[in-house]
Amino acid sequence: MAMASATASVTGVCLAAKRAARPLASCDSAVKHAALEAIAAALELRTDEVLQANAQDMELAREADIGAALIDRLRLDSERVAGIAHAVRQVAALPDPVGEVIEGRRLANGLELRKVRVPLGVIAVVYEARPNVTIDAAALCLKSGNAVVLRGSSAARNSNAVLAEIAAEAAVAAGLPEGCVGLVSGGGHEELAELSRQSATVDLIIPRGGERLKEALQQSATVPVIYAASGNCHVYVDAAADLEQAEAIVVNAKVQRPGVCNAAETLLVHEAVAERFLPRVLGALDAAGVRLRADERTRALAGRGLAPEPAGEEDWASEYLELTLAVRVVDSVEEAIEHVGQYGSGHSEAIVTRDTAAARAFQRGVDAACVYVNASTRFTDGGEFGMGAEIGNSTQKLHARGPIGLRELCTFKYLVEGDGQIRL
């Protein structure tokens, strides 16, 4: 069978991936391209099978009352499956990162040195209630020459099993090695801990999920981890903002898809425009169904018919992942930067302003993977950045930061060519 079955041991799946990693690393670009095209075509052909499995997961999720945000992430329909297949084709069309020369030079001793991009080897992707990640991760890992071990949550068990089977069978039929796509069952904490300790076979773990998943891995992992973690994102409306533009940005950042990590969770407004701006933006947010939690100055300026709830300390630190927004008035761009520094998660932050100095201060002062000027935080996404699908958004600083695409799934090695040189 092309895919390691859900009943196979974690060690067995990882060993199969390790065996596949070496031949996969040297696979020709054309073979990888054909494999991704085959996966996309198989998804379209077997859409009904995918939706049937997803319907089982959705029924169980509603019975378990897992929450609106996770339900939204879990749900698949024909349009979403078509979108996943389209994303695979976008990845297939991207340049192959493997073998790319990052830099090259001739040393004084005559040695020719090239720094060349190469696959990491075996990448384990751990994710919660996002069946699309099964295919996104497989496509990105295979395109970048890596074997992938997938570990989804139990909430998406049926969806993930079908999707991983489709990806593995199509990839192997197109010429990629057996074991290049493996799935572990999405069991309990013991299984996650076992996967996180597979340092002999797994080169990197990328988790996509909340803080609980991050904490669980921090306690047990011996394999290196890139955390695609939470997004407590802010929009700051400066004194020099175009208020019509600011309203559109704030509403989009909060409302367009609230259950994702690049949605805004806090709105900061400069006191110089608060009296003019807050009634209009809070009214628009309220009309869109957003629950508002605000500091005292915001509540005093909210406008007729609006009564935001008082915000507590926990609200500034919350990633709501729903139609709830914390709102605060600040006295300066420096105070906005300080607030973001205290409560932000390093994901995506935005300033709306026509003041170049304020924009530059925000860009320099905010420590996050993505800092926006006059644009919504919702653009932090591999597809939007022209990277194809992504595995997640890294909120840490080493190796990969922001959207994790093809190049972020590679490392490099130095190729050095000489003509008999010896070191004296």
Same domain, 246 and 274: yes
Residues 75, 61 within the same domain? yes
d(CA 137, CA 132): 9
Q: Are 28 and 48 within one domain?
A: yes
- Here the tokens at position 80 are 């979403």
Q: Based on the fold, state whether residues 205 and 316 are members of the same structural domain.
A: no
Residues found in the chain: 424
Contact between residue 373 and residue 363 where contact means Cβ atoms under 8 Å apart: yes
Q: Helix, strand or coil for residue 278?
A: helix
Q: Compute the distance between CA of residue 400 and CA of residue 374 in angstroms, rounded to an integer.
A: 25
Tokens describing residue 117: 């991009």
- Domain hosting 49: range is 10-228+391-417
- Phi-psi domain of 67 (left: phi exceeds 0; alpha: psi -120 through 50; beta: other): left
Cα–Cα separations (whole angstroms), residue 12 to 7, 66, 198, 384: 10, 31, 11, 36
Helix (H), strand (E) at residue 309:
strand 309-310
Same-domain pairing of 84 and 153: yes
Residue 3's pLDDT is: 43
pLDDT of amino acid 229 = 66
Contact 164, 149 (CB under 8 A): no
Q: Please indicate, yes or no, whether residues 35 and 114 belong to a single structural domain of this protein.
A: yes
Q: Which two tokens stand for residue 275?
A: 């009296």
CATH code of the domain covering residue 310:
3.40.309.10
Q: Which residue from 258, 268, 243, 255 is spatially nearest to 349, judged by alpha carbons?
A: 268
Asked if 136 contacts 389 with a C-beta cutoff of 8 angstroms, the reply is: yes
179 and 248 together in one domain = no
Identify whether residues 304 and 349 lie together within a single domain.
yes
Determine contact, residues 351/333, Cβ cutoff 8 Å.
yes
Do 218 and 237 fall into the same domain? Answer: no
CATH number of the domain within which 210 lies? 3.40.605.10
Helix residue ranges per DSSP H, 26-129: 29-45, 47-64, 68-74, 78-93
Q: Give the per-residue pLDDT at 119.
A: 98
The total domain count for the chain is: 2
What pLDDT does residue 2 have? 43
**Coil, helix or strand at residue 360:** helix
Report residues of the chain scoring pLDDT below 50: 1-7
- pTM for this predicted structure: 0.85
